[in-house]
Amino acid sequence: MRSHSSCRLCRTFAFLFVLCAAASFGGLSAVQAQLGKPEGLYYKSWAVVVGIENYLVAPKVPGALESAHAVAAALRGLGFDEVIELQDKDASFKRLMQILNDYLPRKVGRQDRVVIFFAGHAGITQDFQSKELGYLVPWDAQLTNTNKTITFDHLKEFSRRSASKHMLLLFDANIRGWEVTAPQPLSLEGRLSPEDDTEKRAVQVLTAAEKDETVGHAPGESPFATALVAGLKGAADLNKNGWVMASELAAHVKQEVGAGTKGAQHPQFVQLEGDGDVVLVEGKKGLFLLGSEPTNEADRAKAARTQYEQAFALLQQQKSAEEALERLNRAIAYDPSFGDAYVLKSYVRLEVLPNLEESLAAARAAVQHAPQNPDSHYALALVLEKQSQYHDAEQAMQQALAVNPAYADVYFSLGALYADHLNEPRKSVDAFRRYLELGGQSERATRAVQGSLPAEKPAP
């Protein structure tokens, strides 16, 4: 008796062939299908990079301008659409408030990403409830006078009003007075829609030091900015999956700044709102696994099944075939004996993303690892037929029927093979007849069988 997964694969082959035909004849064009949908995770990426080194009345902050320049260049290198640099007198209280209260709220959309970097002075005061309230010091503000500062209340209000999906605030300063929420660990294990986690709202904060620590200032890039830039260039890809998330960047920065300052500074990471994670470097969706890699055989088999199910769902929903192929390859890497994954990969490489050599290799691997799955032999037959190896294709189809004598789709393919390539009309009719007996409804099979019947004698 065939397994449930094998039975479903039999149905899947028929479904996927119909799907392929629909895409070829009268389906939506690629342009129509993508209308109104961003190609990546974000419609637009915005950055505001503030560096204040030469204050009007406050002490100088050596290295602030160089740090800001380096971060701005790194963000442009990541493809940010608009990077607004505000340096020294350009970063006045009026200008910063105009950016936060008017410009960004008007421009930023719901599917956008916002990153704000600040290098300069920060301070601390108390609100009316005697709670600590941190603030950033604009170019024309005094260090100890909060009348013209950007308080955390301003920033919180901005984050609440912002329509952006993801926001990351980076402060090269000692910031205090922000309610801390422990970041939620993210994982796509067991999910069928990898986009779901990247759609979750996220407002996150990364600061250069913790409470009561002093942020050192010296000419050149700060340790915080240096770690940020290296992380954005790939050093923060801790699990080596091609993606860099804000949580990964924070872990990288904490380690590098702690080591670079010999323990004098301990950067802090805060999840202000939502349970998402800002994406800084977008890799391939098929590799978006934020959890740890499986380490034992049982976990690897489970992970392989998860990847296979996600690939199956992507094909069924007519989504990215490239991502489906990536997930199938990952499933096979986790479990090299996973026959179902080889079968589906063979189909994808045969009909969706054609590569006959890979399709044939996958089909042969399916036969090797899952000989009791009729779809293994059927997949091999379809590739061999495409390669004009008709007698070998016939043998593979017969082997599929030996495993499952009631596999209707194989009888139809066999009937077509006999008629179109092997010049065996009688065998073709026999195969088509068996297909119809098993519930098949193809007009071609019906015509072939009816055409083979002898004409009835007229009544006397």
Split at pLDDT 50, 70, 90, the class of 254 is very high
CA dist list (Å): 299 to 6, 128, 293, 334: 22, 53, 9, 9
Class of domain 1-21+296-400: mainly alpha
DSSP tag of 38: -
Query: Which residue from 355, 409, 350, 400 is spatially nearest to 375, judged by alpha carbons?
Result: 400
Q: Are 84 and 109 in contact (CB under 8 A)?
A: no
Tell me which of 16 and 165 has the higher pLDDT: 165
pLDDT of residue 161: 79
Tell me the pLDDT of the chain averaged across its residues. 82
How does pLDDT run across 341-380, given as a tens digit for each residue?
Answer: 999 999 999 989 999 999 999 999 999 999 999 999 999 9
How does pLDDT run across 25-55, given as a tens digit for each residue?
Answer: 333 333 333 233 334 688 899 999 999 999 9
For the domain with range 45-281, which CATH number is right: 3.40.50.1460, 3.90.1150.10, 3.10.20.30, 3.40.190.10?
3.40.50.1460
Q: Are 143 and 58 in contact (CB under 8 A)?
A: yes
Write the burial class of residue 325 (CB in 10 Å: 0-12 exposed, 13-18 middle, 19+ buried). Answer: buried
pLDDT of residue 183: 41
Q: Are 374 and 363 in contact (CB under 8 A)?
A: no
How does pLDDT run across 48-83, given as a tens digit for each residue?
Answer: 999 999 999 999 999 999 999 999 999 999 999 999
Is the Cα torsion angle 386, 392, 398, 404 positive or negative in sign? negative
Is the Cα torsion angle 419, 423, 424, 426 positive or negative in sign? positive
Range list for CATH 3.40.50.1460 in the chain = 45-281
CA dist list (Å): 242 to 208, 277, 286, 334: 25, 15, 10, 18
pLDDT of residue 69: 97
How many residues are given for the chain? 460
Q: What is the DSSP string of 71-127?
A: HHHHHHHTT-SEEEEEEGGGG-HHHHHHIIIIIHHHH--TT-EEEEEEES-EEEEE-
Q: Is the pLDDT of residue 1 over 50?
A: no
Split at pLDDT 50, 70, 90, the class of 172 is very high
Range list for CATH 1.25.40.10 in the chain = 1-21+296-400
DSSP tag of 88: G
Q: Which of 19-28, 85-94, 291-300, 308-317 has the lowest mean pLDDT?
A: 19-28
Q: Is the pLDDT of residue 443 over 60?
A: yes
Please tell me whether the overall predicted TM-score, pTM, comes out greater than 0.85 for this model: no
